[in-house]
Amino acid sequence: MPSSAHLSMVDLMAYFDATVSPEEARTILAHLETCDLCRAQHDEFCAFQDELEDPEFAHRPVPDTIPEPSEQQVEEFRALASRLDVEDAEAGRLLPFLLTGSPDDWRTHAAQPSVTMTWALIHHLLDEGHRFLTIQPSHALDLALFAGDCCAYLPDATSREQDHKAHFTGLAFKEKANALRMLGRLPEATHATETATLWLLMSTNGEFEVAGVQYIRAAILWSQRDLVSARRVVRASAKTFALYGDSEQCRKSEVLEAGILYEMGQVAEARDLALRLLKSAQTDKDLALQARLCANLAQCVGDLGDPEGAGNYYLTAMSLYDELGLKTENVRLRWSLGDLTARTGRPNDGLILLERAERDFEDLGMLGEAGMVALSRAELLLTAGHFAEVATICHTVIARFEKLGAAKNALQALEYLREAMVAGRSTPVLIREVREFLQHLPTDPSRAFEPPPPIA
């Protein structure tokens, strides 16, 4: 800035960002000390920056002295909105053509001169990918990669177009990260979150979407057992969602945080957070979230020495899942409730619940889960000395896993258990080791089964 001039907003913004050189900073500071006008502007600007940090800022009353838009402006805006609506409808019609055949065919279709790439088409591709995220993540990944490639066709002649191109490219990488996470390809997913962040930072208004990327990153860190980092990242995402007034996403982040706290062993904190979230889910009549939170609370209060409270939460969660028609979640919770009941002095009641859960899983065609419940039952029965029944269960479980085409290491673990049964060496501890080994196989498929050392 010239020494005689007042500070411009460019100077002020750069000074506030701390992107000025030390010499410029000294000049600006010296000027602020002597110029009342600039100091007032600086103070007002700083105060406004502080206001922005207030989550309530976006809800403050609007001064009514601001002029209304002119009729011409409204008309122009209406025309623009209509044009974008048409583009959106056109993109919806084009999508089935674009996604015919293999992903290589998709790229051939996209390269045709008759196809005009628009933001709306990218949106439709991203939404389509998101739809497949949990049911077919490999397809979701193909769609995210394709959406990313399509972004290269978006126009970038003006700064606004460049801005949007960076934004949509960031969103494509975000979906890529999400799909890779679902596929368990965690290092690649981590890399994709970083690329997504950098693209979104290149757009003017990427902060909100970066919070979504942070959520994915936190879930990845959680899977990698880096719980301290996972918690920091998920809290940062919740803060941004709160600033943007997105209570649904904010709550989603906090639910993840409660899970992380539980895994960190901070069970009481996890319970308190889950209780607060449950209250807000009840206010919003969000049954799915209520069910999930009640299941989490059951685990928390069970660990905190209140089996009765845990049982009640399980029952509430089960009835909510019933209401939602989510049968598998209901059966999963019956399994957990059976385990809890058996562990807390009522083994026979627990066995009845487990038997029913096993039958329900079988009816649902979920033979793997049925096998795991059977192993829970076997552990309890062996503790009570019912050897013959346990041997039958082991044979049934092996048959189920063979039918499922289970991995070699899974069958090896079960075979070891069967041999131990025949030799009279099986113990409840061994059954639990085998069950836990099978449970963790999906996240560590190459792991070999290591039998526990024999009791001295």
Partner 1 sequence: MTQEPPRDGPGPETDATALYLEYKPFLLYLAGKKFHIPAPDAEGVVHDVFVSYLEQRTRIRTLRPWLIWATVHASQDYWRRRRGTEPFSSEQEDRPDEATVRQTARIEESFSVREVFGHVRTRCRELLIHRFLEGFTIAEIAAQQSITAKYAKKLVFGCVTKLRRLYRKGTKVL
**Residues between 67 and 96 that touch partner 1 (CB under 8 A):** 67-69, 73-74, 77-78, 80-81, 84
Question: For residues 12 and 317, which CB has a smaller minimum distance to partner 1 in the complex?
Answer: 12
Question: For residues 36 and 448, which CB has a smaller minimum distance to partner 1 in the complex?
Answer: 36
- Alpha-helical runs (H) found in 325-450: 327-343, 347-363, 367-383, 387-404, 408-422, 428-440
Would you put residue 171 in left (φ > 0), alpha (ψ -120 to 50) or beta?
A: alpha
Is 194 a binding residue for partner 1 by CB under 8 A? The answer is yes
Question: For residues 120 and 301, which CB has a smaller minimum distance to partner 1 in the complex?
Answer: 120
Give the length of the chain.
456
Site string for partner 1, 198-237 (x = CB under 8 A): x--xx-xx-xx-x--xx--x-----------x--xx-xxx
Is 58 a binding residue for partner 1 by CB under 8 A? The answer is yes
Site for partner 1 (CB under 8 A): which residue of 26, 46, 48, 387?
48
Is 66 a binding residue for partner 1 by CB under 8 A? The answer is yes
Question: For residues 179 and 295, which CB has a smaller minimum distance to partner 1 in the complex?
Answer: 179
Site for partner 1 (CB under 8 A): which residue of 37, 62, 135, 448?
62
Contacts (CB under 8 A) with partner 1, residues 398-437: none
Cα three-residue angle 153-156-157, rounded to 5 degrees: 130
**Phi then psi dihedrals of residue 232, to 5 deg:** -60, -45
Is 160 a binding residue for partner 1 by CB under 8 A? The answer is yes
Is 164 a binding residue for partner 1 by CB under 8 A? The answer is yes
Q: Measured from the CB of residue 295, what is the shortest distance to partner 1 in angstroms?
A: 25
Is 148 a binding residue for partner 1 by CB under 8 A? The answer is yes
* Residue 214 near residue 250, CB atoms below 8 Å: no
Distance CA 302, CA 299 (A): 5
* Residue 197 near residue 210, CB atoms below 8 Å: yes
- Environment class of 43 (CB within 10 Å of its CB; exposed 0-12, middle 13-18, buried 19+): exposed
Question: For residues 221 and 375, which CB has a smaller minimum distance to partner 1 in the complex?
Answer: 221
* Residue 132 near residue 157, CB atoms below 8 Å: no
Question: For residues 178 and 197, which CB has a smaller minimum distance to partner 1 in the complex?
Answer: 197
Contacts (CB under 8 A) with partner 1, residues 119-138: 119-120, 123, 127
Distance CA 445, CA 129 (A): 26
Taking alpha carbons only, the member of 185, 154, 184, 186 closest to residue 172 is 154
Is 52 a binding residue for partner 1 by CB under 8 A? The answer is yes
Question: For residues 202 and 367, which CB has a smaller minimum distance to partner 1 in the complex?
Answer: 202
Contacts (CB under 8 A) with partner 1, residues 292-311: none
Is 59 a binding residue for partner 1 by CB under 8 A? The answer is yes
Distance CA 241, CA 256 (A): 14
Is 19 a binding residue for partner 1 by CB under 8 A? The answer is yes
Distance CA 310, CA 288 (A): 18
Q: Measured from the CB of residue 85, what is the shortest distance to partner 1 in angstroms?
A: 8
The SS3 assignment for 56 reads: coil
